[in-house]
Amino acid sequence: MDPRAILDHEFMVAAYVATWVIQLSYLAWLGLKWRAQKRREARMSRNLR
């Protein structure tokens, strides 16, 4: 296979992987924030009772 085509393919894969890493990392951070809020809410309602 043409070495230029191999390099093109590797750069394309790098761009696609980088996109998904950024998007899924943000989603994971959002999920953690959501879970922390749920716990805080439960703690607050327990203490207010």
Partner 1 sequence: MKKLAIGLYGVLTVTLMIWAWYQAIYVAPNDAMQGEIFRIIYYHVPSAMVAFLFFAISLVGSIGYLASRRSHADRAQIFDAWALAGAEVGVVFCTVVLVTGPIWGRRAWGIWWTWDARLTTTLVLWLIYVSYLLLRRFAAGPQVQTLAAVLGIFGALDVPIVYMSNRWWRTQHPAPVFGGAPGSGMDKSMLPAFGWNVLAWLAWGIFILILRYHVERKSQKLAAQDAEAALYGVSSI
8 binds partner 1 (CB under 8 A): yes
Q: Which member of 1, 3, 42, 43 binds partner 1 (CB under 8 A)?
A: 43
- The CA distances from residue 48 to 41, 43, 44, 45, in Å, are 11, 9, 6, 5
Using rule CB under 8 A, residue 28 touches partner 1: no
Nearest to 30 by CA among 43, 41, 22: 22
- Interface residues with partner 1 (CB under 8 A) are 4-5, 7-9, 11-12, 14-16, 18-19, 22-23, 26-27, 30, 33-34, 37, 40-41, 43-44, 47-48
